A and B are shown apart, each in its own frame.
Chain A
Amino acid sequence: LAKTTQPISMDSYEGQEVNITCSHNNIATNDYITWYQQFPSQGPRFIIQGYKTKVTNEVASLFIPADRKSSTLSLPRVSLSDTAVYYCLVGDEDSNYQLIWGAGTKLIIKP
C-alpha cells in the first residue's frame, strides 16, 4: 500500500504563511492529491485537490512537483481559527479504493 508522510506537528503565528508537505512515493497515475482540515470532534472538511503543478482556491494553494511524489499545502496569512489537523489523501496504485490517509499534521497557530 502507498504510504504518506507528514510532519506530526507545526507551530506558526497569526499572519504568517504556513507550508505543510506530504510525501507519497506510490501515488497512482490517475489519482489526485487531496487535503483535508479537521477540527476536534468534527468530520474532516475538504480544502483543496490537485493533480499536477499548482492549484489555488480562496482558502489555500497546493503545489505538486512534476514527479508527483510529494505535495505542499500552503495556507496564506493564517489566523487562530486555522489551528486544526491537516491530512493529505492520495490514491493507491494497487486499488482504486484503498484510500490512504496520512497521519495528519497538527497545526497550532499562536497569537
Chain B
Amino acid sequence: SQTIHQWPATLVQPVGSPLSLECTVEGTSNPNLYWYRQAAGRGLQLLFYSVGIGQISSEVPQNLSASRPQDRQFILSSKKLLLSDSGFYLCAWSVNGGGSYEQYFGPGTRLTVT
C-alpha cells in the first residue's frame, strides 16, 4: 500500500531564517507530487506541482521554491522566511495523468514564523 510522509510535524522559525520541508511517498512510482499551503480557516492554495524528477511548476509567485531530487521525494524550501509564510503545509501525491484528481495527502507541517 502507498504511504506519504511529511516532516517535521510542527516548526517554529524566526523571520529571515531558511526553511526545508520534506515529503516522501512509498509504494508507488512516478507519482504527481504537490505542495499546498493552508492559512487558518481557509481553503487549500496550490504552491507547486511536479510530474517527474526535476520538473517543477509554480502556481504562486513567492519566496518559496520546490525541488524533486528523486522520484518519490519532494522538498519545499525558502532562503528567508516571511511572517506571511506561516500556515499549514500539505504534501500530496496522485497517479500521473488521466484528468483524475484523486490525491492522497500527508499529515502536514504546521509552520509558525515569528
Contact = CB atoms under 8 A, between A and B. Distances in A.
Given A30-B99, A49-B102, A43 B90 contact: yes
Contacts of A43: 90, 92, 105-108
A63 B57 CA distance: 33
A38 B110 CA distance: 15
B108 to A, nearest CB: 5
Given A28-B99, A101-B43, A102-B43, A42 B104 contact: no
A87 B51 CA distance: 23
Contacts of A32: 99-102
Task: Report the contact-size class of chain B (Cβ under 8 Å from the partner).
Answer: 20 to 34
Contact of A42 (B46, B100, B103, B107): B107
Contact of A97 (B44, B57, B100, B105): B57
B7 interface: no
Given A99-B46, A103-B43, A34 B102 contact: yes
Interface in A27-44: 28, 30-32, 34, 36, 41-44
Given A41-B88, A103-B43, A49 B105 contact: no
A34 B102 CA distance: 7
A41 B108 contact: yes
A31 B99 contact: yes
A43 B35 CA distance: 12
B93 to A, nearest CB: 11
Contacts of B92: 43
B99 A96 contact: yes
A97 B49 contact: yes
B59 interface: yes
Contact of B100 (A45, A49, A104): A49
Interface centre among B43, B45, B104 (most CB of A within 10 A): B43
6 contacts: A31-B99, A32-B100, A42-B107, A43-B106, A49-B101, A97-B32
